[in-house]
Amino acid sequence: MSKEKALAYAAERRDEQLAALIDFLRIPSISTQPERAEDVRKAADWLAAHMREAGIENVEVIPTGRHPLVYGDWLKAGDGAPTVLVYGHYDVQPPDPLELWNSPPFEPVVKDDFIYARGAADDKGQVHIHVKVAEAFLGSVGEMPCNVKYIFEGEEESGGESLSQYVAENQEKLAADVVLVSDSHILSPEQPSLVYGLRGNVYYQMNITGPDHDLHSGSYGGVVDNPLNVVGHLIAKLKDENGKVLIPGFYDKVREISDEERALLAVKPYGEETLLAETGAPAAWGEPEFTLNERIGARPTLDVHGIIGGYTGRGGKTVLPSTVHIKLSMRLVPDQDPAEIQAAFKAYIEEIMPPTMTYEIIGERGAPAVVVDLSIPAVEAAKTAYGTVFGREPIFVRGGGSIPVVSDFKQHLGLETILMGFGLPDDRIHSPNERFYLGNYYKGIETVIHFLDELGEG
């Protein structure tokens, strides 16, 4: 059986796999920072070279309006075999705040079975799993059990617009039976989980301006409005202290959680104690009438991510700042429509913004939530693969994060997505000291080998 050879091939090469991953993680492919565009391209080239070396064919780095896509395929399993479209992203979040890292974010460190670096878990380590699986099959038996197409993007952390467009325009090229994505986490090293839902999102930056230059707060405080004070009022009008979003119409299309769904969501053992241990927060928070799993997986929310404005240096400075920038996003659930939410948000801001301010809203593309159809054969294959490698069947969970392109795969290619992740809840993705558990990296390679084998046999 080809699976055994591939598993043995992979198991014998752990040191090389890790060395290559370290190399990949050294490239600061931060997609949100324009000055890093060259590094993002370097990561694309690195990935393409390693895909070719693994034996993947037709590898190309595809330029886009922003960051390149990397495509490759291996299509020699024959017409009868299923085709899997593997997706991942090689871009990473900014590493800031740098001073909170125990080692530099782009100088990977291996310690106690974890590799520490920006992008270790999200998502370079998990992308690398797929390259190593291809190498294991092609380097040992010379073939894979399925036809496999690979599409990797360098823009996921900044909205994924280029890939969204590419998917819409290249339906034939990307045609497949199912999508496979490793960009999420399992519950623990002992308990795998299969993510069957993701929240959607819309993201904004608002620039709010009062006076056309900074003013002395003694000369003008009390007669000219201050954009920082205004931001406080605006935020309070966007969301109440129990987590209810106050934008009119925001909940209109939110699908009620059915009894069946409620039961499925309750399977994941997740209580306040775990939440507090994971986050270090002093108390849990959110809509009291919903459980933690429901709040994360099936309820929408709104959060402010950053406010830039005013004086933040040492000592005091009595100033009325001219302009404030605020970054915020909303997480969406079925059946909220990103375009409708965007319109409702803008109309509400227009209504609550005082006449003392001028403002602009800069928005990235939004994406709807997704829920995976659990009746497809690939779900069975994923269950078997996780079960074989981890010794326990996966629990089904709904993730709170977003992977915008997953909805495009559904919309333009008609495909369901298997979210077969290998991270852990405390990987600190998007945060200082991001890490990836190496046990899961190696088990990830094994699990994907089993998955492709199961699917190919089916």
Residues in touch with ligand BES (CB under 6 A): 122-123, 156-157, 159, 183-185, 201, 203, 399, 401-404
Find which of Mn ion, ligand BES, none residue 399 binds, CB within 5 to 8 Å per kind: ligand BES
Instruction: Choose one: 176-184, 240-248, 316-324, 345-353; the region binding Mn ion (CB under 5 A).
Output: 176-184
Q: Is 140 or 407 the residue whose CB approaches ligand BES more closely?
A: 407
CB atoms within 10 A of CB 248: 11
Cβ proximity to ligand BES, 7 vs 379, nearer residue? 379
Q: How far is the CB of 339 from ligand BES (least distance, A)?
A: 16
Shortest distance, position 9 Cβ to ligand BES, whole Å = 28
Binding-site size for Mn ion (CB under 5 A) equals 3
**How far is it, in rounded angstroms, from Cα 98 to Cα 257?**
40
Nearer to Mn ion, 73 or 183 (CB): 183
CA triplet 242, 250, 261: central angle to 5 degrees?
75
Q: How far is the CB of 453 from ligand BES (least distance, A)?
A: 25
Is residue 183 near Mn ion by the rule CB under 5 A? yes
CB-based contact 219:324 (threshold 8 Å): no
Tokens of 447: 């699990």
Mark 127-166 with x for binding to Mn ion (rule: CB under 5 A) and - for no binding.
----------------------------------------
Q: Which stretch in 142-150, 177-185, 217-225, 374-382 sits in contact with Mn ion by CB under 5 A?
A: 177-185
- Report 435-454 residues binding Mn ion (CB under 5 A): none
**Least separation, in Å, of the C-beta of 160 and ligand BES?**
7
Token pair, residue 207, equals: 């620039």
> 171 has which bridge partners?
none
Residue among 73, 91, 123, 135 that touches Mn ion (CB under 5 A) = 123
The window from 101-109, 123-131, 136-144, 268-276 that contacts Mn ion (CB under 5 A) reads 123-131
CB of 60: closest distance to ligand BES in angstroms? 23
- Which of the stretches 45-53, 65-73, 133-141, 182-190 binds Mn ion when contact is defined by CB under 5 A? 182-190
Interface segment toward Mn ion; rule CB under 5 A; list 65-73, 120-128, 194-202, 404-412: 120-128
Is residue 122 part of the contact set for Mn ion (CB under 5 A)? yes
CB 440 within 8 A of CB 423: yes
Nearer to Mn ion (CB atom), residue 432 or residue 458: 432
Q: Which is nearer to ligand BES, 93 or 226 (CB)?
A: 93
Comparison of 88 and 210: residue with beta carbon closer to ligand BES: 88
Q: Which does 404 bind (CB under 5 to 8 A by kind): Mn ion, ligand BES, none?
A: ligand BES
Beta bridge partners of 215: 320
List phi, psi (to 5°) of 17: -60, -45
Complex with Mn ion: residue 161 or 183, whichever CB lies closer: 183
- Find how far residue 203's CA is from the centre of its chain: 14
Count how many residues are written for the chain. Answer: 458
What count of other Cβ atoms lies within 10 Å of the Cβ of residue 350? 10
CB of 91 to ligand BES, least distance (A): 9
- Least separation, in Å, of the C-beta of 120 and ligand BES? 12
- Beta carbon of residue 201, minimum distance to ligand BES (angstroms, whole number): 5
For 191-214, letters b (16+ CB in 10 Å) and e give bbbbbbbbbbbbbbbbbbebbeeb
Q: Work out how close the CB of 75 gets to ligand BES at its nearest, in angstroms, rounded to a whole number.
A: 28
Q: Which is nearer to Mn ion, 73 or 123 (by Cβ)? A: 123
Cα separation, 435 vs 392, in Å, equals 24
In angstroms, give the least distance from the CB of 16 to ligand BES.
26
Q: Does 408 bind Mn ion (CB under 5 A)?
A: no
What residues make contact with Mn ion under the rule CB under 5 A?
Answer: 122-123, 183
